[in-house]
Amino acid sequence: MYPLVREARAPSRAGQTVGIMAGVAPQDRFPEVVAWMYPLMGHNDRENMTRIWQMVMPPPVFSRAKQLIQQAIGE
């Protein structure tokens, strides 16, 4: 998904785009999305997505996202 965001938007607006997408996604399905998406992504895309989430999510929400990422791919 990150490559699509990168292609569709200027880098300066990629975080905004991901934030909007995250805001409309059903929050109860977010753990499933992370568990599905992160194992399919390469290291660079994982790092980029995690950094974007860190920028757009409030700290308590990002802390939970980080736990989900660790569960999906390990330490």
Summarised one tens digit per residue, pLDDT across range 3-32 is 655 565 565 666 666 666 666 667 888 899
**What is the Rg, in whole angstroms, of the alpha carbon atoms belonging to the chain?**
12
At residue 67, the pLDDT reads 95
Give the containing element (helix H, strand E) for 66: helix 59-73
pLDDT digits (tens, 9 = 90+) for 38-64: 998 889 889 988 998 898 888 998 999
**15: nearest Cα among 65, 57, 43:** 57
Please give the C-alpha separations between residue 16 and each of 20, 32, 33, 47, 53, in angstroms, as whole numbers.
Answer: 6, 22, 19, 17, 10
pTM: 0.67
| Three-class DSSP category at 18 | helix
User: Does residue 69 have a pLDDT over 90?
Assistant: yes
